[in-house]
Amino acid sequence: MDSQIKGVSTGTTILAVTFNGGVIIGSDSRASIGGNYVSSKTINKLIQVHDRIFCCIAGSLADAQAVTKAAKFQISFHSIQMESPPLVKAAASVLKELCYNNKEELQAGFITAGWDRKKGPQVYTVALGGMLLSQPFTIGGSGSTYIYGYADAKYKPDMSREECLQFATNALALAMGRDNVSGGVAHLVVITEEGVEHVVIPGDKLPKFHDE
């Protein structure tokens, strides 16, 4: 459980959703120590590991930063050797290897999302023990428990970019509204063949619901 991590942790909400032509990866921006003190209100949990591949982190911030730094190096080295942009699956596998081989020491989970020429938009999740799974969309972090029902009900395959952006924004807003260790602003990155677009929605511009 995120709340048992010592040190700075991202009790958090992260998600990644594929749509027709791309993928959106999103997160909140709160980092807390033990769930009592917000050590950062504006942390960016969306790490770019290559031109069209991002990953987002949940769990111990220290572990996540160490792993993503190592993964970023390995992925760019692999890409140079292969003389082509890396596959999203390759990037996810690199993270998985690091998580699985160091599972005793690490407490971090990842979502990898991106676009490549072979399979288009993809989402992979690497769970705490090092399991790798490909899904059309995935949610993670402590805040995700509150939006399983919403995500199951509202997700449909092959959404448009706007529908997907609305889905991801609503999901983050709902989770941030119920989880006290998720909050701040909503960071969203839209990845397509054409490029990468970063959308930031400040807390007061997030969708509001019936009791707010």
Partner 1 sequence: RFGQLSSGSDMAPDWTMKEVSTGTTIMAVEYDGGVVIGADSRTTTGAYIANRVTDKLTPIHDRIFCCRSGSAADTQAIADVVTYQLGFHSIELDEAPLVQTAANLFKASCYRYREELMAGIIVAGWDKRRGGQVYTVPVGGMLVRQPVSVGGSGSTYIYGYMDSNYKPNMTKDQCLRLVSGALSLAMERDGSSGGVVRLAAISETGVDRQVILGNQLPKWSTA
- Which residues of this protein are in contact with partner 1, per CB under 8 A? 136-137, 145-153, 155-157, 170-171, 174-175, 177-178, 209-211
151: Cβ–Cβ under 8 A, 6 or more apart, which residues?
15, 137, 139, 171
| Cβ distance to partner 1 smaller for residue 3 or 42 | 3
Q: Which is nearer to partner 1, 41 or 156 (CB)?
A: 156
Helix (H) / strand (E) element for 124: namely: strand 120-126
Q: How far is the CB of 188 from partner 1 (least distance, A)?
A: 17
Q: How far apart are CA 71 and CA 155, in angstroms?
A: 30
Order of all β-strands in the sheet with 14-19: 137-140, 14-19, 22-27, 186-192, 196-201
Residue 137 CB, nearest approach to partner 1 (Å): 8
We find the least distance from the C-beta atom of residue 86 to partner 1, in angstroms, to be 28
Least spacing, CB of residue 156 vs partner 1, in Å: 5
Query: Which among 12, 13, 125, 169 is annotated as catalytic?
Result: 12
Q: Which of 27/93 has CB closer to partner 1?
A: 27
Nearest of 43, 44, 33 to residue 11 by alpha carbon: 33
Q: Output the CA–CA distances (angstroms, integers) from residue 74 to 92, 101, 110, 111, in the order listed.
A: 11, 15, 16, 17
CA geometry: angle 175, 176, 181, nearest 5 deg: 110
Does the active-site annotation cover 12?
yes
Closest CB to partner 1 among residues 48, 207: 207
Secondary structure of 7-36 as H, E, C letters = CEEECCCEEEEEECCEEEEEECCCEEECCC
Active site positions, annotated: 12
